Chain A
Amino acid sequence: MKTYEPILLKNMIQPGYAGSLPEYERAGGYQALRKVLGKVTPAEVTAVVMKSGLRGRGGAGFPTGVKWGFLPKDYQGPRYLCCNADESEPGTFKDRQLIERDPHQLLEGMLLACYAIGAASSYIYIRGEFVLGAKILEAAIKEARAAGYVGKNILGTGVSIDIWVHRGAGAYICGEETALLESLEGKRGLPRVKPPFPATHGLYNKPTVVNNVETLANLPHIMNRGAEWFASIGSPPKSTGTRVFCVSGHVARPGNYEVPMGITFRELIYEQAGGMRSDKKLKAFIPGGASAPFLTPDHLDVKLDFESVALAGSMLGSGGVTVMEEGTDMVWAALRLMEFFYHESCGKCSPCREGSSWLVQIMRRIVNKRGRMEDLETLTDLCKNIAGRTVCAFGDAEVSPILSTLKHWRHEYVTMIHAAEAANLIRPEPAGAKH
């Protein structure tokens, strides 16, 4: 098996590494901050990050430096950085590891980002279930504050940056950046209509940047080793650096694997994650979290970079790769994800709120062998009327399990419906029946 140099997991894979401040410093931690603060201008930091090609690791893959560049240059009031640690996309469990095993790597990344965008206050919005992660971060912030890395006049440079941990309380939608901001403001997590974008009207209506944990954790390494070094890793020019891919489902060794972008799914699944867990063959996989359309064994040689996965009809998303073996019922699998989206729809937009409920009802009917052939048309029609018609990307996400399984495994739906007809479970409506 080919091995790759770990960047983000480098410290934590050392046996005994527990992520304390002295350990992080011994491993070269906070050197980037020392190198940058007061010595390199914020504009130069942004330029380096732009040049590195770093793109957001949360799902959308937007270039980080460009996002920072959208902040108004001449605005005198407060600006904010929010670290998105909501990690709620099913199939994704990398941020939890980055937080719990090497919290200072994230803090150093946040400090660098705050310096670049001129933010004196930042919040880590962490999903409420990560109680341990929140405690670890709070302890790390306390350590960093005592050592002069966080707080007023950091390292005597006159720069002041504060970091607080803010726990969510169980809502998938709060991983959407504007819903995150609403939630942080103490409201229901309903996404905002964009524009205006958070860059100008974010937290408390002030210029704000929201970056994912893994995105921020890359910054100390980029500032230490340079934009050219980072841009040479992965699949340049558009997908640079490594990704921590989360492999779950029917593989021999599920878990987090940090590899350069651009390796194939075949290599990730069969070499890194040890292949299938039994002698059953691979039937399907989801390449980038629950919002990404399903792919088939024909797509195993697709490269794990933003463009290649998009070209294959799906998306690299959050990097959560879920593998399903032969024998997995694809209609059932799509229903499970649909039930997730139905549960998590925030209720703001009618197509998503009502549509997700209808989709779940129809899918349950089919799985319970009470489906009708026209249900397939209704499903497709509903999906088309949800996608693209909502305030946030949730609408597009929720239809992808159904549309992609209908595309690749339509015969399984048909078989279930035929079984229903054969079992004579569908009876003609009694005359005069009303709905």
Chain B
Amino acid sequence: MLKEKYQAEIDEILSRYPVKRSALLPLLYLAQREEGYVTEAAMQEIAGILKLTPPQVYETATFYTMLNLKPVGRFHLQVCKSLMCALVGSDTVIGWIGTKLGIKPGETTQDKLFTLSIVECLAACGTGPMMQVNDDYYERLTEEKLDRILADLRQTGTCSLKTGPFMWPEPAAAKSGA
């Protein structure tokens, strides 16, 4: 139960809004953080906390693509396929990852480590092709970088190639280019 474990955090979230329902997305995020996806039990509990009906929670949860209603792998690889990334090679990135992991978009590897998703624009168009893995952005992807990211994630759970705080061109380049 979220309430027993996160009472203080839930209270703090509720204190930000004059109307309880506004806390719905933050609480769904909390549930997703806990289980890796939003379970039906969590949605029922959240409905209780916010004095909503379970369908009100469900109709909101199903609208937003970042809320997973099914389990995903430990690393959720989300590759942008919108035009700006496609112009600079996102289809190659998707193909490369698929071949390396032996999965198609929408699938999870058997060891439950990686899920590959194709997503629409993540606002990193100047540094494409790019992908988001859980909370982190990886930009200006190449086959070499992808190999390293996949290996690092598998071994250490993170990878130093993640990007941000974002600035492009980088400050030095901006200065010499100006």
Residue ranges of A at the interface with B (Cβ–Cβ < 8 Å): 3, 9, 12-15, 17-19, 78, 87-93, 95-97, 100-101, 121, 127-132, 136, 164, 166-172, 183-189, 204, 246-250, 253-256, 274, 290, 320, 322, 324, 328, 333, 336-337, 339-340, 343-344, 346
Q: Encode B103-129 as 1/0 by CB contact (under 8 A) with A.
A: 000000000000000011111111110
Residue of A nearest to B63 (CB): A188
Q: B16-24, B93-101, B153-161: which one contacts chain A?
A: B16-24
Is B59 interfacial (CB-CB < 8 Å)?
yes
Known: A12-B171, A97-B166, A324-B87. A186 touches B22 (CB 8 A): yes
Task: Name the contact of A100 in the complex, choosing from B164, B177, B178 (C-beta under 8 A).
Answer: B164
Task: Name the contact of A13 in the complex, choosing from B28, B164, B174 (C-beta under 8 A).
Answer: B174
Known: A128-B66, A322-B87. A15 touches B168 (CB 8 A): no
Q: Which residues of chain A have C-beta atoms less than 8 A from B119's C-beta? A: 170
Q: Are A132 and B168 in contact (CB under 8 A)?
A: no
Complex CA gap A339/B50 in Å reads: 36
Q: Which residues of chain A have C-beta atoms less than 8 A from B26's C-beta? A: 166-167
Known: A93-B124, A100-B164, A171-B65. A322 touches B84 (CB 8 A): yes
Known: A128-B66, A169-B67, A248-B125. A188 touches B84 (CB 8 A): no
Known: A14-B171, A169-B28, A186-B23. A91 touches B125 (CB 8 A): yes
Q: Which residues of chain B have C-beta atoms less than 8 A from A250's C-beta? A: 87-88
Complex CA gap A185/B56 in Å reads: 12
Q: Encode B14-37 as 1/0 by CB contact (under 8 A) with A.
A: 001011011111101100000000
Complex CA gap A89/B123 in Å reads: 8
Q: Are A88 and B135 in contact (CB under 8 A)?
A: no
Q: Which residues of chain A have C-beta atoms less than 8 A from B169's C-beta? A: 253, 255-256
Q: Which residues of chain B have C-beta atoms less than 8 A from A339's C-beta? A: 120
Q: Which residues of chain B have C-beta atoms less than 8 A from A188's C-beta? A: 59-60, 63
Query: Shortest distance in angstroms between B58's beta carbon and chain A's nearest beta carbon?
Result: 11
Known: A15-B175, A249-B87, A250-B87. A167 touches B125 (CB 8 A): no
9 example contacts (A-B, Cβ-Cβ < 8 A) are as follows A15-B175, A93-B168, A132-B164, A166-B22, A169-B25, A172-B121, A184-B22, A254-B125, A255-B174
Q: Are A132 and B165 in contact (CB under 8 A)?
A: yes
Q: Are B171 and A17 in contact (CB under 8 A)?
A: yes
Q: Which residues of chain B have C-beta atoms less than 8 A from A204's C-beta? A: 18-19
Complex CA gap A70/B121 in Å reads: 33
Residue of A nearest to B29 (CB): A167
Q: Which residues of chain B have C-beta atoms less than 8 A from A15's C-beta? A: 171-172, 175
Residue of B nearest to A183 (CB): B25
Complex CA gap A336/B85 in Å reads: 10
Task: Name the contact of A246 in the complex, choosing from B22, B125, B165, B171 (C-beta under 8 A).
Answer: B125
Q: Are B25 and A88 in contact (CB under 8 A)?
A: no
Interface centre among A13, A172, A204, A246 (most CB of B within 10 A): A13
Q: Which residues of chain A have C-beta atoms less than 8 A from B67's C-beta? A: 169-170
Within 8 A of A (CB), among B40-91: 50, 59-60, 63-67, 81-84, 86-88
Complex CA gap A76/B29 in Å reads: 35
Complex CA gap A170/B174 in Å reads: 31
Residue of A nearest to B164 (CB): A132
Residue of A nearest to B135 (CB): A131
Is B1 interfacial (CB-CB < 8 Å)?
no
Complex CA gap A128/B174 in Å reads: 28
Q: Which residues of chain A have C-beta atoms less than 8 A from B83's C-beta? A: 90, 290, 322, 333, 336-337, 340
Complex CA gap A20/B119 in Å reads: 33
Known: A169-B66, A187-B21. A96 touches B123 (CB 8 A): yes
Q: Which residues of chain B have C-beta atoms less than 8 A from A97's C-beta? A: 166-168
Rank and list the top 6 A-B pairs by shortest CB-CB distance, nearest first.
A186-B24, A169-B64, A186-B21, A170-B66, A100-B165, A170-B65
Task: Name the contact of B18 in the complex, choosing from A78, A130, A136, A274 (C-beta under 8 A).
Answer: A78
Complex CA gap A95/B169 in Å reads: 14
Q: Are A328 and B164 in contact (CB under 8 A)?
A: no
Complex CA gap A293/B172 in Å reads: 34
Q: Are B125 and A185 in contact (CB under 8 A)?
A: no
Task: Name the contact of A169 in the complex, choosing from B29, B81, B166, B172 (C-beta under 8 A).
Answer: B29
Known: A90-B83, A169-B64, A253-B177. A248 touches B128 (CB 8 A): yes
Residue of A nearest to B126 (CB): A254
Query: Shortest distance in angstroms between B105's beta carbon and chain A's nearest beta carbon?
Result: 13
Query: Shortest distance in angstroms between B73's beta carbon and chain A's nearest beta carbon?
Result: 18
Complex CA gap A340/B118 in Å reads: 11
Task: Name the contact of B126 in the complex, choosing from A18, A19, A136, A256 (C-beta under 8 A).
Answer: A256
Known: A15-B172, A90-B82, A131-B135. A185 touches B21 (CB 8 A): yes
Given contacts A93-B166, A169-B64, 16 further A-B contacts (CB under 8 A): A13-B175, A18-B165, A96-B166, A97-B167, A169-B28, A183-B25, A188-B59, A204-B18, A248-B126, A256-B169, A322-B83, A322-B87, A322-B125, A333-B83, A339-B120, A340-B83
